[in-house]
């Protein structure tokens, strides 16, 4: 009996000594609902604590309890919650962001101890940069959510919005702690395989499964190509990271010392590894640089975790916040692969009467395989959809999600599905698509393009038109396209029509037959201005310059043989019928003629080594190149026969390149060179594009007059530089305005052979003097310099141009001011 009592007493004492109190929970951002990883969770008054994992979860055990639990993280307001005496309890925290004062750090004499850590981390970048692997592949899960937030009362009271708010108010989870509503408009989940190969550097993503739901989304195939992990890749071992088409310097870049300051906060455990915890912040708050926290492993100086934001003071427009959180793991070969990445981008309201946008991106990877490169031909298509990419049930997503969808995310899905069926939402979403694409979908037919609906100029008077094209619902192998228009002054019909057969979507191969009759302008041809739709539309209003009827019938074929390498060819039968005073001397009949016919055989190649191409329904769409220039070479053979009047050859080279110049911003150059062989009238030659309008355009020489110069041999280099915040970010008063300096330098060499000059009469048939084309002296280039400021009131740009040569030409002005409006971040 006594022994049993002693045993029971010993058991009770031992239990009380060994008793463990367990506390778990989740720490999230009160504004966005996103997890806050790496937050500090500490029992008040003790040193017992832990940090949250990447999903914001924590699990804390202690032999004793205090009265409360404290949670803190840099950039957020510290929060405390009371504890009960329960052995197991769950306590969740919602932290609110706080302004971070960059001037609170004070350094004593001597070198900042954080500098040596960063210096060693930079020295070992090549050891851990995944780009040093010969190849790697991963399986990825990507989740994207886009919401409308900052729903002001004025916005909510609009008649069109009121029809939505009743539904919005019924879903409790779509609020933050202060009851502010968010309006979800898009949600996607994607499972994919990502492949990388070095030497040559190639990337490919295969979308295995995708689920896309969103307002205005009718077909998920195009959207699914840009919701995978390839577009959510952030590598801090690069010197510069591209976000929203802006380049931000990495905290461990080669130029770290000129861009950042650091503070060594602590030495902490991350998993089983001891890491230095460092605070980073830009030296100039307007620079495109990060502030936040990074964790660098103590034994090898590898980057283990990042939690970084773009300060609100950075020289960006409409961006309230950009936040990147990333966790990295070592591959079997050593270099690090991001295992989890979360990105938040918050776009502010354009005005008090509008709403903002909140975009969330999450990527988790597993099944990492390294140094087993695929053949180069495997990378021919940058993004590939498996045939059954969208055919999957709910069970698949439950098994393949790294974590279940939260209550808030389930509410988002419910809301998006509801919104899609509200008539006013469909009206606005379809209207926005109509404005952006030019076409309105009506079943299997798209009606448009809207710029053809109405026009007015001195030749046609009022012009009305209508067109259509078939879409993927009609066929994924055939596309029919056309429009018909008529001017009320000239009473002439204009039209364009084409039929395209898509033979192969993997190695993009298509065959197209077309026919058109339209009014064109010498030097302002529609075919040459397709990429400058605003300038093209403006040039077709008002007074037309050197107008003519252009009739064309032809056949085109193209095929992409390997990634980035596209070959094209075709035949064109054309007719030139001038509507202005034009004559040329026919070399066969030695008589003056005003019109002519052409028969052309065309061939060309285009190569963009790392150009990103997606398939948008039945068309290819380029998202630009990442690093390398894009080349295009074209050759045309004009035949005197088979309906053609002229014998000539055209050879041209075009190069475009975007260059990241680090702190100096971004440069872009275009090289255009060519030669026309043969005796031809000047509309066949290169009529260089000028700009007599008040508005700035990158498509033209901005101090040159319309049709001022013509060449049959030419070379032009147009360079423009966006300095971002360089220079102006350092000027005390100007930096608050967030103005950005820009520059231009355009040079053109050209000439015309004497035999092409001789066939243009200096007088008309009645002996009156005639205006002919202008010529360049190849030894004296046309040269213009420009400089200016963009981002004035966030929208406007002013450029000042100086014309440096050919100042004696009639109508030439040495100084021009051009203005433009643009929507840029």
Q: What is the pLDDT of residues 486-527, one digit of tens each?
A: 999 999 999 999 999 999 988 899 999 999 999 999 988 877
pLDDT band at 306 (very low <50, low <70, confident <90, very high): very high
Cα Dmax for the chain: 138
pLDDT tops 70 at residue 687? yes
Which residue, among 705, 727, 719, has the nearest Cα to 785 in the 3D structure? Answer: 719
**Token pair belonging to 240:** 């510069």
Per residue in 371-405, pLDDT tens?
999 988 888 888 888 887 777 788 888 888 888 88
Q: What is the C-alpha separation between 380 and 104, in angstroms, rounded?
A: 52
Task: Find the helix or strand (DSSP H, E) in which 259 lies.
Answer: helix 256-259
CB atoms within 10 A of CB 410: 12
pLDDT band at 678 (very low <50, low <70, confident <90, very high): very high
CB 536 within 8 A of CB 693: no
14: Cβ contacts below 8 Å, ≥ 6 apart: none
Average pLDDT, the chain: 85
CB 196 within 8 A of CB 610: no
pLDDT band at 6 (very low <50, low <70, confident <90, very high): very low
Which residue, among 524, 404, 552, 537, has the nearest Cα to 463 in the 3D structure? Answer: 537
Q: Taking each helix axis as running N to C, give the angle between helix 407-419 and helix 159-169, from 0 to 180 degrees, rounded to the nearest 10.
A: 140
- Give the rounded percent of residues in the chain with a pLDDT score beyond 90: 43
- Give the rounded percent of residues in the chain with a pLDDT score beyond 70: 88
CB 468 within 8 A of CB 484: no
Determine the pLDDT at residue 106. Answer: 46
Determine the pLDDT at residue 63. Answer: 83
Determine the pLDDT at residue 47. Answer: 80
Determine the pLDDT at residue 50. Answer: 84
Phi–psi pair at 131, nearest 5 degrees: -70, -10
Q: What is the DSSP letter of 153?
A: H
Determine the pLDDT at residue 48. Answer: 82
CB 167 within 8 A of CB 185: no
- Domains annotated for the chain, with CATH where assigned, are 2-95 (2.60.40.1120), 118-426 (no CATH), 655-667+676-825 (no CATH)
pLDDT band at 440 (very low <50, low <70, confident <90, very high): confident
CB 363 within 8 A of CB 54: no
Q: What is the C-alpha separation between 236 and 696, in angstroms, rounded?
A: 36
**Token pair belonging to 733:** 């008063």
Dihedral sign, CA of 108, 113, 118, 123?
positive
Per residue in 797-815, pLDDT tens?
999 999 999 999 988 999 9
pLDDT tops 50 at residue 12? no
Q: Taking each helix axis as running N to C, give the angle between helix 159-169 and helix 423-437, from 0 to 180 degrees, rounded to the nearest 10.
A: 120
Q: Among 147-151, 261-265, 459-463, 665-669, which stretch is predicted with the lowest mean pLDDT? A: 147-151
Which residue, among 683, 686, 684, has the nearest Cα to 674 in the 3D structure? Answer: 686
Q: What is the C-alpha separation between 270 and 259, in angstroms, rounded?
A: 27
Between 215 and 15, the higher pLDDT residue: 215
Q: Hey, is 398 helix, strand or coil?
A: helix
Phi–psi pair at 754, nearest 5 degrees: -60, -35
Instruction: Report how many helices (DSSP H) and strands (DSSP E) the chain contains, helices first.
Output: 13, 45
β pairing state of 49-51 and 88-90: unpaired
304: Cβ contacts below 8 Å, ≥ 6 apart: 270, 273, 275, 295, 296, 297, 327, 328
Please give the distance of CA 575 from its chain centroid, rounded to a whole number: 40
pLDDT band at 115 (very low <50, low <70, confident <90, very high): very high
Determine the pLDDT at residue 438. Answer: 79
CB atoms within 10 A of CB 811: 8
Dihedral sign, CA of 313, 316, 318, 322?
negative
Q: What is the DSSP letter of 18?
A: H
Half-sphere exposure of 356 (CA within 13 A, CB side): 20
Q: Among 261-265, 434-438, 542-546, 762-766, which stretch is predicted with the lowest mean pLDDT? A: 762-766
Dihedral sign, CA of 281, 285, 289, 292?
positive
pLDDT tops 50 at residue 18? no
Average pLDDT rounded to a whole number, residues 665-669: 91
Determine the pLDDT at residue 102. Answer: 41
SS3 per-residue string spanning 405-466: CCHHHHHHHHHHHHHCCCHHHHHHHHHHHHHHHCCEEECCEEECCHHHCEEEECCCEEEEEE
pLDDT tops 80 at residue 251? yes
Per residue in 361-373, pLDDT tens?
999 998 899 999 9
Which residue, among 198, 200, 197, 190, has the nearest Cα to 232 in the 3D structure? Answer: 190
Strand-pair partners of 370: 136
Determine the pLDDT at residue 243. Answer: 85
Q: Hey, is 337 helix, strand or coil?
A: strand
Beta strands (DSSP E) in 473-540 are 478-487, 493-504, 509-521
pLDDT tops 50 at residue 7? no
User: Cα angle vertex 810, ends 806, 815, to 5°?
Assistant: 60
Per residue in 586-611, pLDDT tens?
877 778 888 999 999 999 999 998 88
């Amino acid at each position: 009996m006594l022994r049993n009592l002693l045993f029971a007493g010993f058991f009770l004492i031992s239990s009380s000594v060994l008793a463990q109190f367990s506390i778990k929970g989740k720490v999230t951002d009160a504004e966005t609902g996103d997890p806050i990883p790496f937050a500090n969770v500490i029992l008040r008054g003790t040193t017992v604590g832990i940090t949250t994992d990447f999903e914001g979860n924590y699990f804390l055990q202690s032999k004793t309890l205090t009265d409360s639990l404290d949670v803190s993280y840099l950039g957020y307001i510290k929060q405390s919650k009371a504890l009960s005496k329960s052995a197991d309890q769950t306590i969740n925290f919602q932290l609110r962001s706080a302004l971070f004062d960059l001037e609170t750090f004070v350094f004593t004499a001597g070198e900042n101890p954080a500098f040596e850590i960063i210096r060693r981390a930079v020295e070992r970048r090549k050891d851990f940069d995944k780009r040093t692997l010969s190849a790697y592949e991963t399986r990825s899960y990507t989740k994207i959510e886009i919401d409308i937030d900052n729903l002001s009362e004025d916005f909510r009271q609009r008649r069109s919005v009121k029809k939505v708010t009743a539904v919005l108010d019924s879903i409790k989870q779509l609020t933050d702690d202060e009851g502010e509503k968010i309006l979800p408009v898009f949600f996607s989940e994607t499972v994919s395989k990502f492949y990388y190969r070095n030497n040559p550097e190639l990337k490919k993503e295969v979308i295995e499964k995708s689920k896309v739901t969103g307002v205005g989304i009718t077909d998920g195939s195009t959207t699914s190509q840009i919701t995978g992990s390839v577009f959510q890749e952030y590598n801090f071992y690069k010197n510069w990271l591209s976000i929203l088409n802006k380049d931000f310097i990495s905290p461990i870049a080669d130029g770290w010392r000129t861009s950042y300051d650091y503070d060594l906060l602590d030495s902490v455990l991350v998993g089983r590894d001891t890491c230095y915890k460092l605070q980073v912040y830009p030296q100039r708050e307007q620079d495109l640089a990060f502030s936040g926290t990074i964790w660098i492993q103590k034994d090898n100086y590898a980057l283990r975790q990042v939690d970084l934001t773009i300060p609100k003071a950075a020289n960006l427009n409409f961006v309230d916040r950009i936040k990147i959180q990333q966790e990295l793991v070592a591959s079997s070969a050593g270099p690090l692969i991001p295992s989890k990445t979360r990105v938040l981008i918050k776009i502010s309201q354009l005005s008090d009467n509008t709403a903002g946008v909140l975009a969330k991106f999450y990527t988790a990877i597993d099944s990492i395989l390294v140094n087993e490169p695929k053949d180069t031909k495997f990378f021919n298509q940058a993004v590939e959809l498996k045939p059954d990419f969208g055919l999957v049930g709910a069970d698949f997503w439950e098994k393949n999600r790294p974590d279940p969808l939260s209550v808030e995310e389930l509410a988002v899905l419910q809301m998006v599905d509801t919104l899609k069926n509200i008539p006013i939402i469909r009206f606005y979403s379809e209207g926005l698509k109509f404005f952006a694409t030019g076409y309105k979908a009506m079943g299997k037919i798209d009606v448009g393009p809207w710029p053809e609906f109405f026009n007015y100029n001195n030749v046609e008077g009022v012009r009305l038109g209508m067109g259509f094209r078939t879409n993927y619902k009609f066929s994924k192998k055939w596309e029919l396209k056309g429009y018909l228009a008529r001017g009320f002054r000239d009473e002439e019909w204009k039209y364009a029509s084409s039929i395209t057969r898509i033979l192969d979507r993997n190695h993009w191969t298509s065959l197209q037959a077309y026919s058109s009759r339209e009014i064109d302008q010498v030097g302002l041809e529609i075919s040459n201005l397709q990429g400058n739709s605003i300038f093209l539309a403006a040039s077709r209003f008002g007074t037309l310059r050197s107008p003519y009827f252009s009739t064309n019938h032809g056949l085109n074929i193209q095929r992409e043989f390997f990634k980035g390498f596209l070959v094209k060819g075709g035949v064109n039968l054309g007719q030139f019928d001038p509507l202005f005073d034009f004559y040329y001397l026919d070399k066969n009949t030695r008589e003056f003629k005003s019109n002519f016919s052409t028969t052309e055989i065309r061939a060309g190649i285009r190569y963009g080594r790392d150009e990103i191409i997606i398939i948008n329904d039945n068309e290819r769409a380029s998202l630009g190149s990442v690093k390398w220039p894009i080349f295009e070479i074209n050759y045309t053979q004009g035949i005197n026969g088979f309906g053609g009047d002229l014998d000539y050859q055209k050879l041209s080279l075009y190069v475009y390149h975007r260059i990241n110049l680090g702190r100096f911003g971004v440069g872009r150059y275009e090289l255009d060179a060519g030669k026309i062989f043969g005796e031809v009238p000047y509309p066949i030659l290169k009529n260089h594009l000028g700009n007599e309008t008040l508005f700035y355009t990158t498509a033209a020489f901005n101090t040159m007059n319309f049709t001022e110069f013509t060449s049959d041999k030419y070379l032009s280099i147009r360079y423009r530089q966006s300095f971002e915040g360089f220079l102006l970010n350092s000027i005390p008063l100007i930096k608050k305005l967030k103005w950005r300096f820009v520059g231009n330098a355009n040079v053109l060499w050209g000439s015309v052979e004497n035999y092409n000059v001789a066939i243009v009469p200096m007088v008309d048939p009645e002996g009156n003097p005639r205006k002919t084309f202008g010529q360049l002296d190849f030894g004296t280039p046309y040269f213009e310099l420009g400089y200016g400021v963009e981002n004035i009131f966030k929208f406007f740009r002013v450029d000042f141009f100086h014309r440096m040569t050919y100042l004696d030409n009639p109508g030439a002005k040495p100084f021009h001011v051009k203005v433009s409006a643009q929507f840029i971040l």
